[in-house]
Structure 1
Amino acid sequence: MLKPVESEENSHALEYAMANVAAAMADPSRVKILCALMDGRAWTATELAAVADIAASTTSAHLSRLVSGSLITGLSQGRHRYFRLAGQDIAELLERMMGISWRSPSAARISTPVPLRLARTCYDHLAGEVAVDIFDAMVNLAWLTDGGTVLTDKGHQQFAQMGIELNGKNRRKLCCGCLDWSERRFHLGGEAGAAFFSHCERQQWIARTTGFREITITSVGRLAFKKWFGVE
């Protein structure tokens, strides 16, 4: 039988764990690091120090805190060590926090850079104004149910026609509406969102901006998005 003190500690384990995650994020430099990793790629400590504008020694301590909070993971390859978000769920948490923070009076006075608002990465899928318009078009075209919770039979057919393969057998949701923090509306997440993003890259419809989350829509991409979704 557990002692009363041990039983009380166990009953509050979830609250302590939540507080630990919140504490790991409670620093502007660590938030900058997490936002940089929202592009879905792995970064070195040196690269993250530059984007967060902090010293290398300070970056090491921040990265250790984020790793211990299970927000990021580190992996070694050759002589280098890379860091990335611990998973899609962390990216979704950050995106929702951005939306909540944007509602505050101080954040409302900040104007989002136009390129970032137009199109950006949200971990492994497309976000921003263009992504929201594509999501709305998919719903209107009956590819997705309202809210993006189900990819319809027509949606499966259209994805296949575009040349997008969906596994549908992994543990990840096939599709979902991911709330876009700058637009306050949904863009496409889940496996379908990631597969669509990868397809756009392969077809050179979009181009990444090295070191940033901004996405450039190419001339080929503008034509493709207009053809498939009527998005200008």
Structure 2
Amino acid sequence: MAGWVDSGNAVQASVVALARELSDPVRLTALQLLAAEGPHTMVQLADAMGVSPPRLGNHLARLRAAGLVTVEHTGRHAVYQVGRADIADVLTALARYAHRGDPVTPRRTSSPVDVAHTCYDHAAGRLGISVFATLVEAGALRPPDGRTGDLALGEDLTALHRLGVDPAAVAPRRRLASACLDRTHRVPHLGGDLGRLVLDAFVAAGLVRRQDGTRELLVTGRGDERLPVLLPGFTPAP
């Protein structure tokens, strides 16, 4: 019994220590970026997060001490990555819990931009998150392990074909697919050339329409009907 109690206390202490590190928004965001998008230099992380490198450096030092990130020196650059691949599962679970169990349902009232907008040449917002989740859960894509933001093709590409995408159409020398952290919802949406192809397919099928001069994507009447079928759990209405 004593051994069981000791073991339980050790696990509890480990959980408390992890919660302490994740309780700070700067450390949490840094981990989310590294887990979703792969290794970053401190400058890249600071730029993405909108914080100063000295402030971020203090937090990265704490994450290193806790074993949550590691650093590799390449020339004059220090490149950070997650220390454990399974931290991505913890972060995803937290994001889902924060969104009441649904990774694509925000806690606050949605705006049209929350529903769908562009991030570079791919879809972001709840639409992009649903594309990512659907393809991973269907086995069309294998999720990143936290050491890189790249996704690999899975064994069953049916879900990609249902979205109107042929993986063979990926542009040469472009990343096939990547996990791009959605800054609003804190879970990944689909980037890379597959992300571009999915958005192009949705536009060609009349499911979404680009808004001139803005990043907003308008879900059409046809999209209201078809997208929830193609992307289980996605609800177009804000």
Normalising by structure 2, report the TM-score. Answer: 0.53
Letter in 2 for 1:13: A
Instruction: State the match for 1:35 in structure 2.
Output: 32
Q: Deviation at 1:211?
A: 8.9
Higher helix share: 1
CA contact (8 A) 1:206 1:221 kept: no
CA contact (8 A) 1:201 1:207 kept: no
CA contact (8 A) 1:32 1:51 kept: no
Instruction: State the match for 1:130 in structure 2.
Output: 131
SS at match of 1:75: strand
Identity of aligned residues (%): 20
CA contact (8 A) 2:69 2:80 kept: yes
CA gap 1:211/1:44 in 2 versus in 1, 3 angstroms: farther
CA contact (8 A) 2:144 2:179 kept: no
Deviations 1:90-115 (A, max 9, x none): 111111110001129xx610644621
CA–CA separation in structure 2 for the residues paired with 1:92 and 1:209? 14
CA contact (8 A) 2:46 2:52 kept: yes
Instruction: State the match for 1:63 in structure 2.
Output: 60
Q: Deviation at 1:40?
A: 3.3
Verify: 1:17 aligned to 2:26, yes or no: no
CA gap 1:88/1:222 in 2 versus in 1, 3 angstroms: farther
Gaps of 5+ in 1: 120-127, 139-143, 145-158, 160-186, 224-229
Cα RMSD (Å): 4.4
Equivalent of 1:97 in 59, 70, 94? 94
SS at match of 2:153: helix
SS at match of 1:54: coil
CA gap 1:25/1:135 in 2 versus in 1, 3 angstroms: closer
CA–CA separation in structure 1 for the residues paired with 2:169 and 2:63? 32
**Which has the higher relative contact order, 1 or 2, with Cα contacts under 8 A spaced 6 or more apart?**
2
Q: Number of aligned pairs?
A: 165
Instruction: State the match for 1:218 in structure 2.
Output: 196
CA–CA separation in structure 1 for the residues paired with 2:58 and 2:92? 24
SS at match of 2:87: helix
SS at match of 1:74: strand
CA–CA separation in structure 1 for the residues paired with 2:57 and 2:70? 13
CA contact (8 A) 1:118 1:129 kept: yes
Letter in 1 for 2:51: I
CA–CA separation in structure 1 for the residues paired with 2:30 and 2:168? 24
CA gap 1:19/1:231 in 2 versus in 1, 3 angstroms: same
